Chains A and B, each alone.
Chain A
Amino acid sequence: MNSIEKKLLELNKIEDIQQRSHWMNSLHPLGKLLISVIYILCVTSFDKYDIVHLILMSVYIIFTFAIGELSFKEGIYRMRLILPLLIFVGIFNPFLDKNIVLIAGYEVRGGIVSMLTLVVKGVYTVLAVYALIATTPIDDICYALRIIKIPKIIVIVIMLIYRYIDVMSKEADRIFTSYRLRAPGQKGIAYKYWGALVGQWLLRSMDRAQIVYESMTLRGFRGDFIPSKKSVRALDVIYPIVWIAIFMIIRFAVTG
């Protein structure tokens, strides 16, 4: 399986979880978006030596993954893209930060603690975004973005990008496969074909965009996608309030 197919498979998996029937999936997207943003803000705002609060913040992750029946493995797998920069930034901390901090009565080198908190923050933030996207389809997130007054042009463009990722990725896969079949042993596309290969595809894509536009205008498009309204239930309000309250308590009331 090549990397494009792998990526499409990953996309497929996420969409399968998005479509299951689980109460967490049916929560209002705005609430889930708010929880995620505030959670990430809280997690990243802790001091680099502050282990206690970070351990407490795992409560949210544990809850959403356990009760939301999400896979830790899938979530952690998503770390791989940001991991290199994270490691590069953190790996030298143990050598450079020679402060001694007291952790549970033991004297520990500050750099080790700060590296650890960096990794923990990395894991939490990635898992929190995974928890959001696994329970909330992009279209619902777009609906939430509209409520918080993100300009509709941005929201529509996001919806279209999302819709055409699959179409375009499959096209990329076909182009690359047909290239490789005729250029055995090459890892990538050779220099002299760059322009024609991608250029032609680009022009085709512009033509496709034109047809998409025609299809839209013929069905009454006047610059907006009118969404169907989502109803707000009590749980949609209570759920985010409870979580945000818990985050605030951990953040401001619990002293380590």
Chain B
Amino acid sequence: MKTGVSGELLNISGLSFSYEKDKEVLKDIDLKAVDGESIALVGANGIGKSTLMKLMVGLYLDFSGDITVAGHKMCAANLDHIREHIGYVFQDSDSQLFLSTVEDDVAFGPRNYGLSEEEVEQRVAKALGQVGIENLRKSKTYKLSGGEKKLASIATILSMEPDIVIMDEPSVALDPRNRRNLIMVLKDIRGLKIIASHDLDFVMNTCERTILLDDATIVADGATKDILGNEALLQAHGL
């Protein structure tokens, strides 16, 4: 069962990772995050943002260094515990939503964790309510618009009631209204949020803290307004 965790939810120290030998995608990453924070991960294309996030959820385990999620050390034996605490919203909603109705997809996680049908029902209703798409409950996933798909994807993660929500480029391909709506929805999500995005305006609106990645490591970590306000810094790192 999930244990109540407060304070420090994520602790990464000395993290290095490479897909191929001698080609480090990430090296010596140190990162601490506490409950309630919203952190943006920014950096040029292919700089390792997605890799870092996938490491946080344990999709790659052959890294060096330490990752601790909600008090659990990242290793194969702890994956089930860790994944109860952390949710990942993929960039491509069609890959995230693999069942044919919204309802089934949102219920997928809770059912896999062995909740009773009543609990699953409550979780689904609550998650759909949080993102404001109760009306789409019975809809076919493929018939949703881009904005609706994104909200449904987020609901599939919220129904697992994670302490940490990770999002990969959530604002991509959304029209202005859906984008504003998404900002509102994100503000209401509690816990620790980590959002990778190229959309700096979106980052301004959703995250207080920003981490800038370049050259396989963290080059800046601080308040969003300081980092995004520093034109020279952004220019120097390909943004």
Contacts and interface: CB of A to CB of B under 8 A. Distances in A.
Q: Are A and B a genuine interacting pair, yes or no?
A: yes
Interface of A: 12, 15, 19, 137-139, 159-160, 162-164, 166-167, 208, 211-212, 214-222, 225-226, 228-229
B227 to A, nearest CB: 29
A218 B142 contact: no
B19 interface: no
Which are the 6 A-B pairs with shortest beta-carbon distances?
A220-B112, A219-B109, A211-B95, A166-B142, A226-B111, A215-B96
A218 B144 CA distance: 23
A167 B97 CA distance: 11
Given A214-B54, A219-B109, A222-B112, 12 more contacts: A139-B99, A139-B101, A162-B100, A163-B98, A163-B99, A214-B88, A215-B96, A219-B160, A220-B113, A226-B112, A228-B120, A229-B117
Interface of B: 54, 57, 59, 80, 83, 87-88, 90, 92, 94-96, 98-101, 104, 107-109, 111-113, 117, 120, 138, 140-143, 156-157, 160
Contacts of B100: 137-139, 159, 162-163
A163 B117 CA distance: 24
- Binding site secondary structure of chain B: helix
Given A226-B111, A229-B117, A218 B141 contact: no
Contact of A218 (B87, B101, B138, B140): B87
B57 A218 contact: yes
A164 B96 CA distance: 12
Contacts of B107: 228
B140 A215 contact: no
B138 A212 contact: no
Contact of A220 (B83, B90, B141): B83
A164 B112 CA distance: 22
A6 to B, nearest CB: 17
A162 B99 CA distance: 9
Given A214-B59, A220-B83, A221-B112, A208 B101 contact: no
B137 to A, nearest CB: 12
Nearest to B95: A211
Contact of A219 (B112, B138, B141, B142): B112
A137 B59 CA distance: 34
11 contacts: A139-B101, A139-B104, A163-B98, A163-B99, A166-B142, A216-B98, A216-B108, A219-B109, A220-B83, A226-B112, A228-B117
A75 to B, nearest CB: 22
A19 B104 contact: no
A179 B26 CA distance: 39
Given A139-B101, A159-B100, A219 B95 contact: no
B112 A15 contact: no
B72 to A, nearest CB: 15
B99 A215 contact: no
A22 to B, nearest CB: 15
Contacts of B112: 219-222, 226
A174 to B, nearest CB: 13
A19 B98 CA distance: 19
Contacts of B101: 139
A76 B59 CA distance: 49
Nearest to A137: B100
Nearest to A15: B140
Nearest to A18: B140
A165 B156 CA distance: 21
Contacts of A137: 100
A193 to B, nearest CB: 25
B160 to A, nearest CB: 7
A233 B88 CA distance: 39
A254 to B, nearest CB: 42
Contacts of B99: 139, 159, 163, 225
A225 B105 CA distance: 10
B108 A211 contact: no
